[in-house]
């Protein structure tokens, strides 16, 4: 089966086309310490907002992801789940960002935001790129209908919670401008694992969205982020942090929470190497001019 137009392949090829300049003069030992919404972590490399892990990897998979992220001293992003599963993850003590689907029942979004606030999540978010099914009709996930959000609705969600509200699924200046106007406190640049074919790679649109937000809110990147070098390229181009998804599913299969921890720590060490070799030795020293494209 041809993968022409597959957005994952296009994204992977784009990331691999980005090269780095080495800049050894006046560099220093790297420090990837990462501050997000007033809290500091060891790394800007976080988990992606995975969901439906139990049927794919077993009953213990969600807790393995959470405990692995906690052991690596980084942030757990998590996706669609029942309230009891979210509560069990929160009880591990990991700092957590829950991404909520664009439910057609808007009251359900408000309820989930209220629960996230009660559980003292680090932040919450809404996934704007999942309202439509493959044929463009309203999506239906586990019996829940989805619907696209308006800018006005998004503004109401932002106002309804004390938590920073992050919008996931942004891949254009147009959407970024509207999310910013609505009061979003973070954006995730993502095509949601080839949700639509021929999607622009997140790193391709990252510089112009970074220019738009001008440091006002953090930008995050997922899709095909697999290594510390991938993370470095995103950070250099303007991301505040990155999210690794599917590789962590493999890590859970192989060694549970320890596998997640080890994968994240290895990626962080790869990031530190890239930072040291380019003079970008802390996250405030990131410089997009170290990136060249073939």
Which residues are known catalytic residues? 192
Q: Tokens 């493959």 sit at which residue?
A: 134
Residues 6 or more apart whose CB falls under 8 angstroms from that of 284 comprise: none
Q: Is residue 67 within a helix (H) or strand (E), and if so which, with residue range? A: helix 61-71
Distance CA 47, CA 93 (A): 15
Backbone angles phi, psi at 49, to 5 degrees: -80, 70
Could you tell me if residue 73 is left (phi over 0), alpha (psi between -120 and 50 degrees) or otherwise beta? left
Residues 6 or more apart whose CB falls under 8 angstroms from that of 292 comprise: 18, 19, 20, 21
Instruction: Provide the 10 A C-beta neighbour count for residue 28.
Output: 11
Nearest one of 124, 21, 128, 34 to 78, comparing CA atoms: 124
How is residue 190 annotated by DSSP? -
Q: Tokens 């503004």 sit at which residue?
A: 155
How is residue 31 annotated by DSSP? B
Reported as half-sphere exposure (CB side, CA atoms, 13 A), residue 194 has a value of 12
Nearest one of 158, 156, 183, 187 to 170, comparing CA atoms: 187
């Amino acid at each position: 089966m041809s993968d022409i137009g597959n957005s994952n392949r296009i994204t992977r090829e784009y990331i691999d086309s980005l090269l780095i300049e080495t800049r050894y003069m006046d560099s220093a030992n790297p420090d990837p310490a990462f501050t997000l919404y007033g809290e500091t972590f060891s790394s800007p490399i976080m988990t992606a907002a995975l969901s439906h892990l139990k049927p794919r990897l077993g009953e213990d998979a969600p807790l393995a992801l959470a405990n692995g992220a906690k052991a690596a001293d980084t942030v757990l992003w998590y996706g669609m789940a029942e309230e009891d599963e979210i509560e069990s993850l929160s009880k591990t003590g990991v700092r957590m960002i829950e991404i909520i689907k664009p439910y057609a029942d808007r009251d359900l979004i408000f309820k989930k935001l209220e629960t996230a606030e009660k559980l003292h999540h680090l932040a919450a978010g809404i996934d704007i790129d999942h309202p439509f099914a493959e044929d463009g009709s309203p999506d239906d996930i586990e019996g829940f209908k989805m619907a696209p959000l308006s800018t006005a609705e998004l503004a109401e969600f932002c106002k309804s919670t004390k938590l920073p509200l992050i919008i996931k699924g942004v891949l254009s200046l147009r959407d970024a401008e509207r999310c910013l106007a609505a009061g979003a406190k973070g954006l995730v640049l993502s095509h949601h694992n080839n949700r639509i074919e021929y999607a622009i790679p997140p790193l391709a649109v990252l510089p112009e969205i970074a220019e738009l937000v001008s440091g006002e809110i953090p930008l995050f990147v997922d899709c095909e982020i697999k290594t510390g070098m991938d993370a470095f390229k995103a950070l250099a181009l303007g991301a505040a942090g990155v999210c690794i998804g599917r590789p962590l599913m493999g890590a859970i299969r192989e060694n549970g929470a320890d596998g997640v921890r080890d994968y994240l720590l290895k990626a962080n060490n790869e990031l530190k190497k890239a930072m040291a070799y380019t003079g970008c030795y802390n996250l405030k020293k990131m410089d997009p001019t170290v990136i060249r494209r073939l």
